[in-house]
Amino acid sequence: AQKVTQAQTEISVVEKEDVTLDCVYETRDTTYYLFWYKQPPSGELVFLIRRNSFDEQNEISGRYSWNFQKSTSSFNFTITASQVVDSAVYFCALKEDPGTASKLTFGTGTRLQVTL
C-alpha cells in the first residue's frame, strides 16, 4: 500500500532563514507522481509542484527547490530566504496509476511558522 510520511510536525524559523521540509514515500508501483501542496490559513490547498517517477532532475523555482531521490524514496522541499507569507501547512502527496482518477495519498503535513 502507498504511504507518505512527513516526520516534521511543525517547524519555526526566523525570516530569511532557509528551511527544508522532508517527505518520504512508499509505493510498489514503478510509475507514480509526487506532489507538494501549500495550505494557507484560508484552507484551500494550493498546488506547488508535480514530479514523476522517471524524472529525478531537481527543480528550482524562485525561492523554492525540490530534491527528488528515488534511492531513498524522498521528495524534499526547500524554501530559501523564508518570508512570513510562507507560513502555512505543507503537504506532500503520492499518486499511483496516474492514467486514471486514482486517489492522492497525503502525508500528515508540516506546519511552517516564519516569524520576523
| Residue 31 backbone dihedrals phi, psi, to 5 degrees | -115, 120
Q: Does residue number 63 form part of the binding site for another protein (CB under 8 A)? A: no
Q: Whose Cβ is closer to another protein: residue 39's or residue 65's?
A: 39
Tell how strand 64-69 and strand 32-39 pair up: unpaired
| 81 touches 64 (CB < 8 A) | no
Q: Does residue number 77 form part of the binding site for another protein (CB under 8 A)? A: no
* CA dihedral sign of residues 50, 55, 60, 64: positive
Q: Does residue number 20 form part of the binding site for another protein (CB under 8 A)? A: no
Distance CA 20, CA 11 (A): 9
Q: Whose Cβ is closer to another protein: residue 30's or residue 42's?
A: 42
Burial class (CB in 10 A: 0-12, 13-18, 19+), 90: buried
Stretch that binds another protein, among 39-47, 58-66, 70-78, 79-87 (CB under 8 A): 39-47
Stretch that binds another protein, among 17-25, 30-38, 59-67, 70-78 (CB under 8 A): 30-38
| 111 touches 8 (CB < 8 A) | no
Q: Whose Cβ is closer to another protein: residue 75's or residue 107's?
A: 107
| Interacting residues with another protein (CB under 8 A) | 4, 9, 32-33, 35, 37, 42-47, 50, 52, 91, 95, 98-101, 103-104, 106-109
